[in-house]
């Protein structure tokens, strides 16, 4: 397959989970993938696996909450390629706590990664996406951005903001031939959700609320991201694709 042949792609949070699966899928479709993660060893392990399989991948240690890290990342990609065709803002975290007990420090931590980091990436990556002439910016939000669950209030707030940001950017970036879309996954077994899913009662309840009666797999989300990255979605911008096994339909 070559739906991304010769395209330059950047995936944040690509050391594991959905980001890792997305990087692997992109490389399999012919892209040169840049993997950015605060865990540099994990990003490099994924990049190395892609290269062993015959793909093209470069890893970067990047903390998206640090402006200097983000600027250095885009400088490196600009020097190497002069453009960026696909940017996937996937990095995220959750601080699970009842909102009334959420500390200022916890709120700042989750906001800086889930929202401020996406803002920074979307803003500082603009020139390289514009240089592509067919840029695709994909923000990974969550179905929790429009739904509520106890102890996920802060997470939901940031993901809802990401979806709103996407719509605004879609309008502002369209004149520059940059499409901006959102992927909103349901519950997927990853490092981000392991704290919740280690409780079998919660896991069983989530599965029961999902029409397909199972949790998602990282590659299933990655395949949806691929749709927005490729020309298959060339007339889509400001869209949100929900990939949740029917959980939204079941509620």
Query: From first to last of its 251 residues, what are the pLDDT tens digits of the chain?
Result: 699 999 999 999 999 999 999 999 999 999 999 999 999 999 999 999 999 999 999 999 999 999 999 999 999 999 999 999 999 999 999 887 788 999 999 999 999 999 999 999 999 999 999 999 999 999 999 998 888 777 789 999 999 999 999 999 999 999 999 999 999 999 888 766 666 666 777 788 778 888 889 889 999 999 999 999 999 999 999 999 999 999 888 75
Assigned superfamily of 8-250: NAD(P)-binding Rossmann-like Domain (3.40.50.720)
Helix, strand, coil abundance in the chain, percent, nearest 5: 50, 15, 30
In this predicted structure, what is the pLDDT of residue 211?
87
- Active-site residues, by number, are 155
User: What DSSP element (H or E) covers 246?
Assistant: none
Joined together, the tokens standing for residue 129 give: 């996406």
In this predicted structure, what is the pLDDT of residue 201?
76
- Say if residue 199 is exposed, middle or buried (CB neighbours under 10 Å; 0-12, 13-18, 19+): exposed
How far apart are alpha carbons 216 and 76 in whole angstroms?
34
DSSP label of 38: S
Strand order through the sheet with 8-12: 56-61, 32-37, 8-12, 86-89, 135-140, 178-185, 240-243
Give residue limits of the domains in the chain: 8-250
In this predicted structure, what is the pLDDT of residue 23?
98
């Amino acid at each position: 397959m070559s739906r991304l042949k010769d395209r330059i792609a950047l995936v944040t949070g690509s050391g594991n989970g959905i980001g890792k699966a997305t990087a692997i899928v992109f490389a399999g479709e012919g892209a040169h993938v840049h993997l950015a993660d605060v865990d540099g060893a994990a990003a490099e392990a994924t990049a190395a696996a892609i290269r062993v399989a015959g793909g093209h991948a470069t890893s970067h240690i990047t903390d998206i909450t640090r402006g200097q890290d983000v600027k250095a990342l885009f400088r490196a990609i600009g020097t190497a390629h002069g453009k960026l065709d696909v940017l996937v803002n996937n990095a995220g975290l959750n601080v699970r706590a009842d909102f009334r007990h959420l500390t200022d420090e916890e709120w700042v931590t989750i906001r800086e990664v889930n929202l401020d980091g996406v803002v920074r990436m979307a803003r500082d990556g603009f020139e390289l996406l514009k240089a592509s002439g067919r840029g695709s910016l994909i923000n990974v939000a969550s179905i929790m951005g429009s739904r509520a669950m106890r102890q996920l209030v802060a997470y939901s707030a940031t993901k809802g903001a990401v979806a709103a940001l996407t719509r605004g950017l879609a309008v502002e970036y369209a004149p520059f031939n940059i499409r901006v879309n959102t992927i909103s996954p349901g519950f997927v077994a990853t490092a981000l959700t392991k704290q919740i899913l280690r409780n079998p009662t919660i896991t069983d309840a989530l599965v029961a609320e999902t029409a397909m009666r199972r949790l998602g797999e990282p590659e299933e989300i990655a395949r949806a991201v691929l749709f927005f990255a490729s020309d298959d979605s060339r007339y889509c911008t400001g869209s949100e694709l929900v990939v949740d096994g029917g959980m939204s339909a079941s509620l």
